[in-house]
């Protein structure tokens, strides 16, 4: 087991603050660094298709919703976990690029319906296929058993967070 950056950071803290138990950093810190690293690999594929992460996320959300590939801006904001203001701007860019179209909702004058255009559909289908290949590459260093264990542990951790009390 070679020593990595997180180990080194922990050692520094143990020297400087021996009164604190920095054990959990092994998990929290490593998870964050890994997420950053993986994220950087993923965006290279988005960029090849002329998209940034947020735009890919919007197109993918519309695509996997199934025909007619249309959702409201508010739904998209919820699914992609950004504010509606941020979504407005993403949609502005995607609309300018001709990848989505905004129409008035027929049932609610306040609402809009955002739908993939034909071009949008083509772009996300190509980008997503490459994205999946990229994900396969990124997990290829783990064998099937390790992947299963890791999925189970991440799931456990996620669920446990819902039941943890706030910091006093």
Partner DNA sequence: TCCCAATATCTTCCACGGAAGATATATTCC
Partner DNA sequence: GGAATATATCTTCCGTGGAAGATATTGGGA
Positions in the binding site for DNA (CB under 7 A):
52-54, 72-75, 81-93, 102, 105, 108-112
By CB under 8 A, name the one of 17, 47, 104, 122 that touches its own copies.
17
109 binds its own copies (CB under 8 A): no
**Which of 43, 75, 97, 134 is the binder for its own copies (CB under 8 A)?**
134
Cα 68 from Cα 130, distance rounded (Å):
23
Taking the least distance from each CB to its own copies, the nearer of 45 and 91 is 45
Name which position in 86, 119, 126, 151 contacts its own copies (CB under 8 A). Answer: 151
Cβ neighbours of residue 112 under 8 Å, at least 6 residues apart? 72, 73, 102, 103, 104, 105
**In terms of Cα–Cα distance, which of 63, 75, 48, 65 is closest to 99?**
63
Instruction: Work out what residue 36 binds among DNA, its own copies, none; the CB cut-off runs from 5 to 8 Å by kind.
Output: its own copies
What values do phi and psi take at 141, rounded to 5? -80, -5
| Shortest distance (Å) from residue 3 CB to DNA | 25
Whether 28 and 43 have beta carbons less than 8 Å apart is answered as no
Cβ-count burial of 168 within 10 angstroms (0-12 exposed, 13-18 middle, 19+ buried)? exposed
Instruction: Assess 126 for contact with its own copies (CB under 8 A).
Output: no
Cα–Cα nearest to 57, from 82, 31, 35, 37: 82
Binding positions for its own copies, rule: CB under 8 A: 1-2, 4, 9, 12-13, 15-17, 20-28, 30-39, 41-42, 44-45, 63-66, 81, 125, 128-130, 132-142, 146-147, 149-151, 153-161, 163-165, 167
């Amino acid at each position: 087991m070679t020593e990595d950056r997180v180990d080194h950071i922990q050692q520094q803290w143990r020297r400087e603050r021996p009164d604190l138990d920095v054990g959990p950093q092994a998990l929290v810190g490593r998870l964050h660094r890994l997420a950053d690293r993986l994220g950087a690999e993923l965006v290279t594929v988005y960029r090849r298709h002329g998209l940034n992460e947020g735009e890919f996320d919007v197109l993918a959300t519309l695509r996997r919703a199934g025909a007619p590939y249309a959702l409201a801006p508010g739904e998209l904001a919820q699914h992609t976990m950004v504010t509606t203001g941020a979504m407005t701007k993403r949609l502005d860019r995607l609309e300018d690029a001709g990848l989505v179209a905004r129409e008035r909702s027929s049932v609610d004058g306040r609402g809009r319906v955002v739908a993939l255009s034909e071009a949008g559909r083509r772009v996300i289908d190509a980008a997503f296929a490459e994205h999946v290949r990229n994900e396969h590459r990124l997990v290829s260093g783990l064998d099937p058993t390790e992947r299963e264990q890791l999925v189970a542990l991440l799931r456990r951790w996620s669920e446990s967070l819902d039941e943890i009390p706030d910091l006093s």
